[in-house]
Amino acid sequence: MKKSSTVISVTALVLTAPLVSSAPAAATAYEPDPPTPVAPPAIALPPLPTNMPTLSNVDALRIGPSSVVPCIGVEIRPGQEAADVVANYPTGTTFCFAAGLHRITRMIVPKANQIIGSDEDAVLTGSVPLTGWTATGGDWVVKGVLPAAYGRTGQCEDNIANVCYLREQLFLDGRHLTRVATREKVVPGTFFGDYAANAVFLGDNPAGRSVEMSKTPTAIQSTATGVTVRGLTIEHFATAPQAGAIVLGPKWKVVANDIRWNHAVGAMLVNADGAALERNLIQHNGQLGIGQYSTVNGTISDNQVSNNNTDGFWIADWESGGIKTTWSTGGTVTGNLIQGNLGVGLWSDAYDDGRTFSDNQIVDNAADGIRYEIGRNGVIENNTITGNGLGTGRGSGTSLWDGGGINVNTSTNVQVRNNVVTGNVNGISIQSRTRGSGPWGLNVLRDVSVTGNKVTMKQGTAATGMVQNSGSPIPTGEVVLSTNTYVLDSLMTNRFQKFGQWFTAPQWQKAGLDANSKFTTK
């Protein structure tokens, strides 16, 4: 039976800063500071609070499992082997998971045009219960539950312990536990997996409590076309780094699911031409919320992607955080709320071509809000980007080399227009790095246009500008900044930078940059 849908309210506070017009500014290029007896000094304001509520267009949509349409088809009940049920029916069949917990012990491989869904809040889990615990030396142990030791992949924030790549997560009464590197470090709230001894050590007394360990690598994946997945909760899958709990194929539609607490990536689009990932909650996954690889015209829209990278992958510069796309052509990432992820909010990397990032709310992510890296023909428009890049850790920093609200890195023909960029570690960072060659020849930064944006910079050393490696200089005229509005703490504060030289607002304009832009403290 279909339960009544409810609107999931993801926010409570409206960001009132309007998008600015791309039309030329008034004749006065900048407004003088309000008269004061003494020019105000630059003030290092505290960072914006984490988990700041934000209004997104996602807020008005029905998202997650509560929003699905009724499911009518072959019922799959708890205790059945879902992979076998799906395999026994022809293309085009609809499968409806009944209410309850479904343990997925083998990957579900749908056929073309099959629908896999639920209207009863069904939960698909990749975990297994752990029982038979024994007290030993102040902690508890169970043996014989781990797989054989496997190789290390990925990069961890803690590159000494290097445990982020290990796939088996533990959940105590549904609460995600933190993995530690040695038994000696086991305390309440943590566990240690000893793969050589095939033993798991737990820091909490498990008596009378539920302890589960993620085990199955993937929930749903196939190369069949036209599959729909809707209305499911997909959790606790032991995904390998860079692999998804659900992997979309060509022309798939994955809509209104809750994809959470999986070890690596929540949802991956892989060779998924024409696929759509829409109106999902994608949260608390161990590495990344959404990944995309080698896909033409994929759509990622109206999702809430929040609080991902729970298992400690490298925040500043490895595939962690909200959304990352690579080697893909065309398609859009639009209308998403991307919030509170430990990594980059929205990242295009390695030979994306013709991608559009539009109308997203990107809030409080630890690294860049948007990073467009080694790509071409990109459009970044109408996004609201607030409080990003303020995280700390290995490789994090505050210079333009470390990024900002928007970071365009060694890419060609990128349009950055009509975005609202507020309170990030930096405003807009244009980086030209020595990055070798690829399928399009030498990777260089060329033809970058930054127009019609509203950029507020009032804290720390926040700046907008350009940096370059000596081996990868930016020729004159290849970066155009025009018709932007900059809201500053003071027009006399150094908030602009070009190749290591700092500028105040009047100096920046006198140097021929942002000639038609507006600078204000209001």
Domains of the chain and any CATH numbers: 128-214 (no CATH), 220-520 (2.160.20.10)
This prediction's pTM = 0.89
- DSSP secondary-structure letter at 226? S
Express as a percent the part of the chain with pLDDT over 70: 88
SS3 449: strand
More confident residue, 517 or 17: 517
Find, among 93, 88, 55, 57, the residue nearest to 74 by Cα: 93
- DSSP secondary-structure letter at 111? P
Mean pLDDT score, 105-112: 98
| 122 in Cβ contact with 102 (< 8 Å) | yes
Find, among 516, 515, 493, the residue nearest to 505 by Cα: 493
Label residue 159 by pLDDT band (50, 70, 90): very high
| Span 207-245, pLDDT tens digits | 999 999 999 999 999 999 999 999 999 999 999 999 999
What pLDDT does 14 receive?
Answer: 28
Backbone φ and ψ for 394, nearest 5 degrees, come out as -60, 120
What pLDDT does 3 receive?
Answer: 37
Backbone φ and ψ for 184, nearest 5 degrees, come out as -60, -20
Q: Which residues contact 513 (CB under 8 A, 6 or more apart)?
A: 481, 496, 498, 503
